[in-house]
Amino acid sequence: MSYDVVSLYRHRFEPESLAPKRRIWEVLCRDFFSRWVDRDSTILDLGCGYGEFINHIDAKRKFAVDLNPDAPGFLDPGITFIRADASRVDQLADGSVDTIFTSNFLEHLPDKNILRAVLAEMKRLLRPGGRVLLMGPNIRFVGGAYWDFWDHHLPLTEQSLTEGLLLEGFKMERVIARFLPYTTRSALPQHPWLVALYLRVPLAWRLLGKQFFIVAQKPA
């Protein structure tokens, strides 16, 4: 990347903003994402950021990948951090991961050639029958606000990403065009019990959701 990712993220995420995000992600993992993650499995968080997902998901072995050298300082003990490009996680063997999660990461990639390389790397890392869980801003619903972030490059919808996954040989399991609001500073309720309620009311997703959520499986 041509910019300093460390400076960018230190500017964007103030320390006092991280605690509310952690409380939201604790509920998201417990009440929603956990249904696709076995407690005895191995999971990889690709583009882990400050560990909001990987710290709260229940799994036997946890790996977190990011280019930001600050990231490991925010990860819980027992999580293995790998500083690597998402298209080349050479530290992990073929078929060594049960589930790969990524949130608000793919839009930072420079182009679709790199995206396809990342999808291919996901497929390499997954065991047969393993899953990818992908979440990100849906340009169809976010509109011009998508470009408010300096490092957003690749506009995606649930349909375009689905097509890319199919081209890589994945099987689609679930595709949600509208899931969470765009950012935690937007319409998503901040209190944990309100987040839990939001997850139980898909009608609210259709009104407030601006991020897609996709589950795809590597064929067995």
Q: What is the spatial distance between Cα 214 and Cα 135, in angstroms, rounded to a whole number? A: 6
Q: Which of 108, 115, 92 is nearest to 44 (CA)?
A: 92
Count other C-beta atoms under 10 Å from residue 189's C-beta. 16
Helices 158-167 and 112-125 pack at an angle, to 10 degrees, of 60
CATH for 5-217 is 3.40.50.150
User: What are 28-68's pLDDT values in tens digits?
Assistant: 999 999 999 999 999 999 999 999 999 999 999 999 999 99
The more confident residue out of 120 and 191 is: 120
pLDDT exceeds cutoff 90 at 127: yes
Residue 32, φ and ψ in degrees, nearest 5: -135, -65
Helices 192-199 and 15-31 pack at an angle, to 10 degrees, of 40
Q: Choose the weakest-confidence range: 59-63, 92-96, 162-166, 185-189.
A: 185-189
Domain ranges of the chain: 5-217
pLDDT exceeds cutoff 90 at 8: no
pLDDT exceeds cutoff 70 at 197: yes
Contact 211, 120 (CB under 8 A): no
